[in-house]
Amino acid sequence: SKIIQLKDYRPSDFLIDRVELDVRLDPHATRVKATLTIRPNPEGRADAPLVLDGDELNLRSVSLDGRALPSGEYETGPQFLSISQPPRQAFTLEIETELDPTANTKLMGLYRSSGNYCTQCEADGFRRITYFLDRPDILSVYTTRIEADRDEAPVLLGNGNPVESGAIEGTNRHFAIWHDPHPKPSYLFALVGGRLGHVGKSFTTMSGRAVRLKVYVEPGKEDRAHYALDALERSMRWDERVFGREYDLDEFNIVAVSDFNMGAMENKGLNIFNDKYVLASPETATDADYANIEAIIAHEYFHNWSGNRVTCRDWFQLCLKEGLTVFRDQEFSSDERSRPVHRIAEVKTLRARQFAEDASPLAHPVRPQQYREINNFYTATVYEKGAEIVRMLKTIIGEGDFRRGMDLYFDRCDGTAATVENFLDAFATVTGRDLSHFARWYSQAGTPRVTIRSTYDEAAQTYRLDFAQATAPTPGQPSKEPMAIPVAIGLVAQDGSSLTATSERVSPQGVFMLDRAQDSLSFSGVTSRPVPSVFRDFSAPVRTSLDLTNDDLLVLLRHDTDAFNRWQAAQTVAMRLLIGLAERTSVPDGDFDRLAAALRTFLESDARRDPAFAALVLTLPNEADVAQEIGANVNPDAIHRARRELRRMIGTVCAEPLLQLYEELADQGPYSPDAASAGRRSLRNVSLDLLAAADARQGERRAQAQFETASNMTDRLASFGVLMTLPGEAREAAIAAFGRRYADEPLVLDKWFTLQASIQEDGTLDRVRRLMEHPAFSISNPNRVRSLVGSFAMLNPTQFNRADGQGYEFVADMVLRVDPLNPQLAARLLTAFGSWRIMEPERLERARSALRRIAQNASLSRDVGDIVQRSLE
Ligand code: HT7
Ligand code: ZN
């Protein structure tokens, strides 16, 4: 299929200034009348035909300036409508199409979820509603009239402001008209019709305008929408305070739906959400769910400026809105919660998803240069690495210039479809800097590795760090250039006292710019051999090799003023031990003892100050991280055994303080999702897990008791998770009890599916197969498929990567089964094969043959075809 290239971009030959849509909702025969005001683009070609995009559309009629077009004057198929000789001045095109939203299982365009009508147009779903110039640089003012049966769809929502609504006399139907004054690309179009309850409140913007905020959910679940509404209000206030951005319509509506391909969608004034990221109650949602809801509500709201008011010229610029908006939502969560704790969580996700992607056959630049299927580029690289680039920019130019640059960017680009160059230009203007080397972060794929060697000269009291950077080849980029890497750095004395050493190459903010392949940094006035603390707060998305001993690292754990690097130090030591255990290379016993002892001291002296941070320090790198770090010839069983063994050792040495914390941190008072309370729960639950790793029988009793008496989902699920690691009757009883208790709660059953699919035992594949027959499972609901099949593929390294290849074959079967229904979902599942090339030879061959079996299928979607082809290259 066709490859689309960034270098081929050219402006559209036509513009569409106004779109009037008249949508008559019907389960199988929805009628859409689109009246488009079109004119030739002065920047386009003069004699070009008008070619509109379509996808699976039924054309009913087409007329131009009020005249029905005879069939000789246009050409059409399900994928296009073209007029070879359109007028050379402005004209009106009226197109009528008919759709079957009930038959739409792809969840793109207009579809039904639990009987309600909703839309998803990003990236190219609008062409499934009407023929259009479905590209993000076509900005139009939309008016939408929606008509529906009153019983079927009492609530009718569109983009923008409500204009009019009423009954259609003599029928049981009614209508609503919405007008959105802000020109927008078609991917931000949305409508909703259905039976929905809501919660709402009024918000007064910084300039004093009143905005009605509403969150719509399944009737009866309104009490679970308050947290989302509160998060929305806090997001709006934050964007005013931190970025000076105000909301620009009279209403802001959020609708939760049960069938959704991704997390949520930022349609102008009408965000549509996967209900998993809206609905929350203490009994059904965990602390992590609350944090996700807050982050995603904020993310979609922040798109109103970074994405909607300033949109993307083309889909190659996706990171322009996504990377920037992830950065903004991360900053929001950091301000609302604990900054260091949030930073660690961000980096854990980045490493698990983006570093893995960058090391896989699917690696691509943050701004790709080509794609076959754009839906496959909503990736960790575009989102998470895209956010890291924005953060590095801020680190390099400083807070004041960053804000001035953002203001200039919004100012210059408001109402336009912009590029990454436009974004960087704003910062180049305010700082007077040349950012062309920095811009390489957008075009060069792969995670740089920075190697650092240290030399201390006691006589001269100098300390030197030698840096080298290198990036491994990625698909299409065999050789790499050096990157501009901000290294936030400090020196820590062995006894923890502060060091006043200086280097002129380190900025007053403590940042050294590494922009060559090799460079050195010298400090003078260093009175004793220090421990370097580099990449503080994870100042750049790189991997690091440092010549520090474990003892040096434990000094950092104890004394570093940078919380991120305290955590990182413990992770690095643990990673070394895990790799040693997994590869059976010799690790001196003393090394285990010293880590366990350091953690014990930490628990006794420090854990209570910041329980959330302590919980992170006590959580070992996960098995996939260890596999990544090993990088080749991986045996997942050995890694699993190693991690279990290290947990057991730490649980044993730290049993006393862990038990004390477990008892001390017991649930007090009613549940609150705030970060401090969540932090206490997380430390307590990490303690529960380590104690169970050290003593299975006692651990089982403790987990069982917590499971039965828990007063909130966080504690219940954590104890359920611990029970999953302990085979036996107690576990099976808990599984049955959980299943019965939440039989009518699909989102809670998703957690139940996930935890069972994650059991690292031989029987799990059969268990997953059986669960696919469970009445709550549905192959057409993305949340169900992701929680059962996706979790098996992504969260169960030993069973997905079974030595006999059955894990791969099962996931391949599922990809082939889901593909005809929902290609996007199938393609996502398939990305679980991302790490197949790092496996040991036997597994590697089995994974290859499963991938080949998929590739040989004649009727693959473009989505799956693209992923399987790139995975095998
Ligand atoms: N901008 C949104 C992306 C999205 C999406 C993309 C493809 C198919 C379905 C989709 N649903 C949402 C989400 C976001 O980043 O805010
Ligand atoms: Zn987004």
**Average pLDDT, consecutive stretches of 10 residues, N- to C-terminus, the chain (873 residues):** 96 98 98 99 97 97 97 94 97 98 98 98 98 99 99 98 98 99 99 99 98 99 99 99 99 98 99 99 98 99 99 99 99 98 98 98 98 98 99 98 99 99 99 98 99 97 97 98 98 88 92 98 94 98 96 97 98 97 87 96 97 98 98 98 98 98 93 98 98 98 98 98 98 98 98 98 98 98 98 98 98 98 98 98 98 98 98 97
Nearest residue to 227 via CA among 288, 283, 297:
297
- Cβ–Cβ < 8 Å for 614, 603: yes
Written in H, E and C, the secondary structure of 758-772 is CCCCCCHHHHHHHHC
In angstroms, rounded to a whole number, what is the distance separating the alpha carbons of residues 712 and 692? 21
The verdict on the CB of residue 122 being under 6 Å from ligand 1 is yes
- H or E element that contains 397: helix 386-397
Could you list the active site residues?
Answer: 300
Cα of 266 vs centre of ligand 1, distance in Å, is 8
The three-class DSSP label of residue 202 is: strand
Instruction: Please work out, in degrees rounded to the nearest 5, the angle formed at the alpha carbon of residue 328 by the alpha carbons of 324 and 333.
Output: 145
* DSSP 8-state class, residue 634: B
The three-class DSSP label of residue 590 is: helix
Strand partners, 449: 470, 543
- H or E element that contains 77: strand 75-77
**DSSP state letters, 505-571:** TS-TTSEEEE-SSEEEEEEE---S--EEEESTT--SS-EEEE---HHHHHHHHHH-S-HHHHHHHHH
Best of 55, 121, 122, 330 to mutate for ligand 1, by most ligand atoms within 8 A of CB?
122
Among left, alpha and beta (phi > 0; psi -120 to 50; other), residue 9 is beta
The verdict on the CB of residue 120 being under 6 Å from ligand 1 is yes
Q: Give the per-residue pLDDT at 589.
A: 83
The verdict on the CB of residue 320 being under 6 Å from ligand 1 is no
The verdict on the CB of residue 610 being under 6 Å from ligand 1 is no
Q: Specify whether domain 310-443 bears CATH 1.10.390.10.
A: yes
Cα of 123 vs centre of ligand 1, distance in Å, is 7
Buried b (16+ CB within 10 A) or exposed e, 778-803: ebebbbbbbbbbbbbbbbbbbbbbbe
- Cβ–Cβ < 8 Å for 103, 183: no
* DSSP 8-state class, residue 135: S
pTM over 0.95: yes
Cα of 417 vs centre of ligand 2, distance in Å, is 16
Buried b (16+ CB within 10 A) or exposed e, 533-572: bbbbbbbbbbbbebebebebbbbbbbbbebbbbbbbbbbb
Q: How many CB atoms lie within 10 A of CB 170?
A: 6
Cα of 318 vs centre of ligand 2, distance in Å, is 9
The ligand 1 atom at the shortest distance from the C-alpha of residue 260 is 11
Give the residue whose CA is nearest to atom 5 of ligand 1.
122
Q: Which of 1.10.287.610, 3.30.420.40, 2.60.40.420, 2.60.40.1840 is the CATH number of 449-540?
A: 2.60.40.1840
Give the residue whose CA is nearest to atom 12 of ligand 1.
265
- Examine residue 855 and say whether the peptide bond preceding it is cis (omega within 30 degrees of 0): no
Nearest residue to 463 via CA among 508, 528, 515:
528
CA distances in angstroms from 3 to 7, 138, 370, 382, 866, listed in the order given: 12, 21, 7, 19, 10
Best of 303, 332, 378 to mutate for ligand 1, by most ligand atoms within 8 A of CB?
378
Q: Give the per-residue pLDDT at 361.
A: 98
Strand partners, 405: none
- Cβ–Cβ < 8 Å for 557, 617: yes
If you count DSSP H runs as helices and E runs as strands, how many of each does the chain have, helices first? 30, 31
- Cβ–Cβ < 8 Å for 761, 727: yes
CA distances in angstroms from 614 to 340, 561, 600, 619, 667, listed in the order given: 11, 15, 11, 9, 18
What the block records as the tokens of 783 is: 């949340």
Q: Give the per-residue pLDDT at 325.
A: 99
**DSSP state letters, 308-336:** TTEEESSGGGHHHHHHHHHHHHHHHHHHH
Give the residue whose CA is nearest to atom 8 of ligand 1.
122
Nearest residue to 772 via CA among 799, 736, 810:
810
Q: How many CB atoms lie within 10 A of CB 406?
A: 24
The verdict on the CB of residue 266 being under 6 Å from ligand 1 is yes
Q: Give the per-residue pLDDT at 535.
A: 98
The verdict on the CB of residue 560 being under 6 Å from ligand 1 is no
Nearest residue to 312 via CA among 372, 266, 249:
266
- Site of tokens 């959400």: 273
Give ranges for CATH 1.10.390.10 in the chain: 310-443
Cα of 601 vs centre of ligand 1, distance in Å, is 45
Give the residue whose CA is nearest to atom 10 of ligand 1.
262
Give ranges for CATH 2.60.40.1840 in the chain: 449-540
Torsion of CA 666, 671, 674, 680, to 10 degrees: 10
> What is the ipTM, given to two decimal places?
0.98
